[in-house]
Copies of this chain bind each other. A is one copy, B any other.
């Protein structure tokens, strides 16, 4: 069963927004806080929700590597986070599975690049394309220690330079710090 996850953006929440940017396409209404929850907060300015799901591109050898360094959220000291909702183009979704895999990994090394940062960046991929009415395809969530922010920026820079990113048609970034 899919685990549903809700990101409620508004005037309160356990993560304080330190920076909010619309990188491509429409942005989201500016908010002071984001709460990562198991339900909708009806008082929020906006709610983005989706589910964790099975792997879509990762092969057995790559999975073995990922399983050896599981991504653990809420690690002590990981007081920085980022919520990056993204949408890929119709052209991306119209491709066959092997064509998407070829762009994602053979050309763009998405899984390999991410693997280099497993020890410093915890992440969770939330799928929402298949949720009726969803605004985005994915809600990507990252947590890291303040001293690793430079490495996280490096990871984003590498991914955004790939040919896969040419298929991103909407991208919003919220940088967050744990509210005290």
Contacts and interface: CB of A to CB of B under 8 A. Distances in A.
Number of copies: 2
A174 interface: no
A116 interface: no
Contact of A127 (B4, B62, B130): B130
Chain A interface mostly? loop
Contact of A56 (B51, B56, B62): B56
Given A51-B132, A131-B131, A58 B4 contact: no
A19 to B, nearest CB: 29
A29 B53 CA distance: 28
Contacts of A99: 59-60
Interface residues of A, number: 28
A68 interface: no
Interface stretch (A9-17, A90-98, A153-161): A90-98
Nearest to A57: B97
A2 interface: yes
A2 B131 contact: yes
A63 interface: yes
